[in-house]
Amino acid sequence: MEGWELRDYYNETRDFWLINLSRQMDTPTLMRIDINIPVVNGRIVEDSYRLNVYADVLTLASEYAGIVAVAHQGRKGQKDFISLKQHWIILRKLLPSYIDIEFIPFEDIFTEETKKKIRDLDRGKIILLDNIRMMDEETEFNPETSKFIKFFKGLIKTAVNDAIPVWHRAHTSLMSLPYIAPTYVGVRSVLELKTLSEVLENKGGDVALIMGGSKLAKVNYLVKILEWADGYTGGLPGQLLAYADGHDLNEVNNRFLRRKFKDKDFEAAKLLLKKFNVRYPKDFIVVENGEKREVSLKEINKTEGVIFDIGPETVEWYAKEVEGKEIRIRAGPLGVFERGFDNGVRFTKMIAGNGLIFLGGDTTAEIAMYGLDRIIMSTGGILCVSGGSFLHGMAGEAYPSIDAILEMQK
C-alpha cells in the first residue's frame, strides 16, 4: 500500500530468537511476560488462557535458568489495577510441583534482600515480582535515570522479552532489557510473530477482521488495516457503527453509547463507514423486563431492551461472508459472554478450522470459559495472547522494545 511499509519483525529478529535455551540462558534470567487478565469484583479470572500459556513458558524456561519474572496488571486508576499476588497463587497451581515460585511484593522489590534472593537463584526456581506498573517510571522510560536498569544491571545475566501483548508500549520494563543484559525474543512471542507474518503475507488477499470488545481499536490502525482486510463488528464497536450510521438503538442504548464514547470516537466511526464497507450487526439480543429477546436493527428503537449480544441473523450473515476467507481474525468479544450470551461462541464454531486466529486476553477468556480452546487449536486455528499489539503490527506500526534489541545488539 502506498504511503507506509510493513515491518518484517519475524525475519528481522531471527538472530535474537530464544531457540536454544540451554546455550542462550544463564542464571539469573530476567523475563518480561504478560499475565494481565480480566478482573471481576477484585478477583482475576482464573480460567485464563494467557495464564496457562505463561505457566508453560515459565516451566520450560526454569529448566535452564533461575527466572525473575516481570509482569503488570491493569492501569493506574482502573479497577483491574491490582497486585500480582492472585496471579502467583494460580501460577503455583499451574506449575509442576518441582518448580518453586516466590512472590515479591512491590515494596520489597528494590531491596538488598531481593538482590540476594536473585543472586542465590537456581534452576527450577522462579521469582515473580509484583505489578511493575506500580513503579512510577514504568510509563516514562529514561535509560539515564532508570532505577530499574540500575537495580538489575550487573545482577542479571540474560534477559528475555516474551511479552508480545505489550510490545506496542515503550515502557521501562520492556525497553530496559537490552541495557541490562543480552536479550532474546521469547518463544511465545516468536510463535505469534510468525502468525502475524503469515497474516501480512496475505495483505491484499482474503482476510477478515471481526472486531468486538468494549472500544473501537485505534482509528489509525483500522484505516491502514481495512485497506486490505474486510471488517466486521460486534460488541460495543458494532453498536457504535450502527449508531454513527444513523440507526436509533433506543434511548437506553443510545444514552449508554454517548456516555461510553467521546466525540472523536463517533467521528472515527463515521470516517470508517465512509471510507470502508465495515459491517455492523443486523440484529441483537436484548434484555427487556428481565427477559432475553431477539430484535432486528430496524425494530430495536421500539423496545427498551439493553443490548447484550449480536443476534442469530448476524451470526449467519457474518459466517457466510467470511467462510471463503483464508484468514479470519477475531479481536474482542462479540457479546457479554460472562453472563451466558454466547452467540460469539456459536459464530466461532461455524468459522472454525484452518485460518481462524483469536486475539487477546478477553477473547481467549471467552474461549476458555466455553471449552473451545482445544477445538480451535485441534482444527487448525490459533489462539494468540496478543490483542491490540497484534493489530498494531497489522497496521505496520513499530514495536519500540524490539527495535531497541535490534539496534543495541547489532
Domains in the chain, ordered, with CATH?
Answer: 9-188+398-408 (3.40.50.1260), 202-379 (3.40.50.1260)
Confidence band, pLDDT 50/70/90 cuts, at residue 4: very low
More confident residue, 38 or 70: 70
Secondary structure (3-state) at 258: helix
Q: Using only the alpha carbons of the chain, give its radius of gyration.
A: 22
pLDDT of the residue at 396: 92
Q: Is the dihedral of CA 275, 281, 282, 286 positive or negative?
A: negative
Q: Would you say how long the chain is, in residues?
A: 410
pLDDT digit string (tens) for 189-215? 999 999 999 999 988 779 999 999 988
pLDDT of the residue at 3: 41
pLDDT of the residue at 27: 98
Residue 337 pLDDT > 60, yes or no? Answer: yes
pLDDT of the residue at 309: 98
Residue 364 pLDDT > 80, yes or no? Answer: no
Q: Are 330 and 301 in contact (CB under 8 A)?
A: no
Which of 111-115, 216-220, 341-345 is predicted least confidently?
216-220
Query: Residue 330 contacts by C-beta under 8 Å, 6 or more apart in sequence?
Result: 210, 212, 348, 356, 357, 358, 359, 363
Residue 82 pLDDT > 80, yes or no? Answer: yes
pLDDT of the residue at 2: 43
pLDDT digit string (tens) for 383-392? 999 999 999 9
pLDDT digit string (tens) for 265-319? 999 999 999 999 999 999 999 999 999 999 999 999 999 999 999 999 999 999 9
User: What value does the mean pLDDT of the chain take?
Assistant: 94
Secondary structure (3-state) at 381: coil
CA distances from 182 to 30, 240, 246, 254 (A): 10, 46, 55, 52
pLDDT digit string (tens) for 158-188? 999 999 999 999 999 999 999 999 999 999 9
pLDDT of the residue at 5: 60
pLDDT of the residue at 373: 87
pLDDT digit string (tens) for 319-336? 999 998 999 999 999 999
